[in-house]
């Protein structure tokens, strides 16, 4: 009998089907239940205070449930925690806030439990799900199941010191050329030393903040399907060359990879950077600290008058292998966390984008938006944002892209050569999913 060969996609489908229909739950308990909830703290916002309060508020209503909060440095740290704990046979956190784009890899590896059954049994299911912004819910579906709920969602934005630009007699950038020229003019030097850079464009976690540049040149790095990538497209190559020109041609930022994600916001609010490309999740912190007028916009494109962004941030996932009681408590707390009033409060406190349409009716958020029009501007930026890098085998493909993109930034490889190699290696990594 001939041996049958199945693609990784088929294996994933079979594994997911088995998990959905047979499950791997621990025995149920009728007594008190304790669940852990894991969060990343990768932005300059009071996330731990907010989430600890959520847990306390929930436990006050549900004394039979104990919620323990667990924090890690970033999304990858939380993901590694979940993977290593489950692989080691331990009890992983019941809920985790992880990158929305990690869905395929996490579900295929059976680290997750689908939320569809709980949602289907929920009163007001359609109203609840329909209130989430569609651009955020897109990351929640896989194989006709819902695996996550939008929580701390963001967009890539360009923050600029509007006072500094005006005092220098310059205009807010409207395209690649004016971005380079303005950032170059705002860079200050004393002899061979730079006392202020005009632009901080972090590239230590590059795919997300690079995507608007690629889109601005005419081609996103990812297509509509879950295996479509365009790394070697001429527009993507041109975007890399422009990124390097920001240093080599315009003198607006340091050369090579900028490992500056964590320092960008402090440098911006203290005036050591005139502009930064960063997450909208840092908005509230920036507004609270800056003593100047803060401007926000999408990343300017190659063509005059264009700007681009992509959504980002994390969703709430439910871990596989929970008991019936743990699963019920975990889902209920996830719904509690995503309540429209809390989503509005979370947006005010952090700068993350309010995930629910009805948040627009929240009086406190309305007042905050009136006082800080940057919030509304970011909401508008999101309305025209492109697709984030969500594909099959994301972990491997993203690493490939990162390595060759950074090689091009560091001058170790020509941009065209780097992207040709990245495309070839990534195509091989995706072959079994196509």
Q: What is the pLDDT of residue 42?
A: 62
Are 41 and 70 in contact by the 8 Å Cβ rule? The answer is no
Host H or E run for residue 217: helix 206-217
Q: With respect to CATH, is domain 156-310+388-433 assigned 3.50.50.60?
A: no
Q: What is the pLDDT of residue 43?
A: 57
List, for residues 150-179, the tens digit of each pLDDT value. 999 999 999 999 999 999 999 999 999 999
Domain ranges of the chain: 8-154+312-383, 156-310+388-433
**Given a cut of 90, is residue 340 above it in pLDDT?**
yes
CATH placement of domain 8-154+312-383? 3.40.190.10
Are 112 and 327 in contact by the 8 Å Cβ rule? The answer is no
**Given a cut of 60, is residue 17 above it in pLDDT?**
no
Between strands 33-40 and 65-72, the pairing is: parallel
- Do 8-154+312-383 and 156-310+388-433 show the same overall fold? yes
Q: Quote the pTM value.
A: 0.87
Are 318 and 311 in contact by the 8 Å Cβ rule? The answer is no
List, for residues 255-269, the tens digit of each pLDDT value. 999 999 999 999 999
CA 125 and chain centroid, separation = 26
List, for residues 269-288, the tens digit of each pLDDT value. 999 999 999 999 899 899 99
Average pLDDT, integer, range 352-366: 94
The band of 137, judged by pLDDT with boundaries at 50, 70 and 90, is very high
Closest CA to 200 of 278, 290, 270: 278
Give the chain's count of helices (H) and strands (E): 19, 14
DSSP 244-278: HHHHHTT--S-SS----HHHHHHHHHTTSBSEEEE
Return mean pLDDT, the chain: 91
Residue 203 sits at the vertex; the CA angle it makes with 222 and 84, to the nearest 5 degrees, is 75
- The first and second tokens of residue 39, run together, are 């969060």
243 φ, ψ (degrees, to nearest 5): -55, -45
Average pLDDT, integer, range 302-311: 96
Average pLDDT, integer, range 319-332: 96
Residue found by looking up tokens 């600290």 in the block = 289
List, for residues 72-96, the tens digit of each pLDDT value. 888 889 999 999 999 999 999 999 9
Strand ranges in 43-121 using DSSP code E only, listed in sequence order: 65-72, 95-99
Percentage of the chain surpassing pLDDT 70?
92
List, for residues 417-429, the tens digit of each pLDDT value. 999 999 999 999 9
Closest CA to 319 of 19, 43, 54: 19
């Amino acid at each position: 009998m001939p041996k049958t060969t199945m693609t990784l996609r088929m294996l994933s489908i079979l594994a997911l089907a088995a998990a959905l229909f047979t499950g791997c739950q621990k025995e149920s308990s009728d007594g008190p239940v304790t669940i852990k909830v894991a969060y990343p703290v990768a932005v300059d916002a009071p996330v731990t205070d907010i989430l600890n309060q959520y847990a306390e508020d929930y436990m006050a209503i549900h004394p039979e449930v104990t919620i323990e909060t667990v924090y890690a440095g970033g999304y990858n740290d939380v993901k590694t925690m979940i993977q290593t704990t489950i692989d080691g046979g331990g009890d992983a956190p019941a809920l985790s806030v992880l990158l929305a784009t990690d869905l395929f890899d996490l579900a295929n590896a059976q680290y997750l439990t689908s939320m569809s059954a709980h949602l289907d049994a929920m009163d007001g299911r359609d109203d609840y799900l329909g209130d989430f912004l569609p651009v955020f819910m897109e990351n929640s579906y896989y194989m006709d199941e819902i695996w996550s709920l939008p929580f701390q969602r963001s967009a890539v934005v360009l923050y600029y010191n509007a006072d500094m630009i005006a005092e220098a007699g310059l205009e807010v950038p409207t395209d690649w050329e004016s971005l380079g020229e303005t950032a170059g003019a705002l860079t200050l030097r004393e002899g061979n030393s730079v006392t202020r850079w005009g632009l901080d464009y972090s590239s230590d976690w590059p795919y997300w903040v690079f995507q608007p540049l690629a889109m601005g040149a005419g081609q996103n790095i990812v297509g509509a399907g879950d295996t479509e990538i365009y790394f070697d497209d001429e527009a993507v190559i041109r975007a890399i060359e422009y990124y390097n020109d920001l240093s080599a041609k315009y003198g607006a930022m340091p050369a090579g990879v900028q490992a500056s994600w964590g320092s960008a916001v402090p440098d911006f609010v203290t005036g050591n950077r005139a502009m930064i490309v960063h997450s909208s999740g840092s908005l509230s912190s920036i507004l609270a600290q800056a003593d100047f007028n803060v401007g926000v916009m999408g990343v300017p494109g190659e063509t005059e008058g264009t700007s681009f962004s992509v959504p980002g941030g994390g969703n709430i996932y439910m871990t596989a292998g929970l008991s019936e009681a743990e699963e019920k408590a975990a889902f209920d707390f996830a719904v509690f966390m995503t309540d429209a009033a809390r989503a509005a409060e979370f947006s005010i406190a952090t700068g993350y984008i309010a995930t629910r349409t009805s948040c627009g009716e929240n009086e406190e958020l309305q007042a905050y938006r009136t006082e800080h029009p940057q919030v509304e501007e970011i909401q508008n930026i999101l309305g025209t944002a492109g697709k984030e890098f969500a594909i099959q085998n994301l972990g491997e493909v993203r690493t490939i892209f990162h390595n060759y993109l950074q090689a091009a930034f560091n001058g170790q490889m020509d941009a065209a050569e780097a992207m040709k190699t990245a495309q070839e290696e990534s195509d091989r990594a995706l072959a079994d999913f196509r």
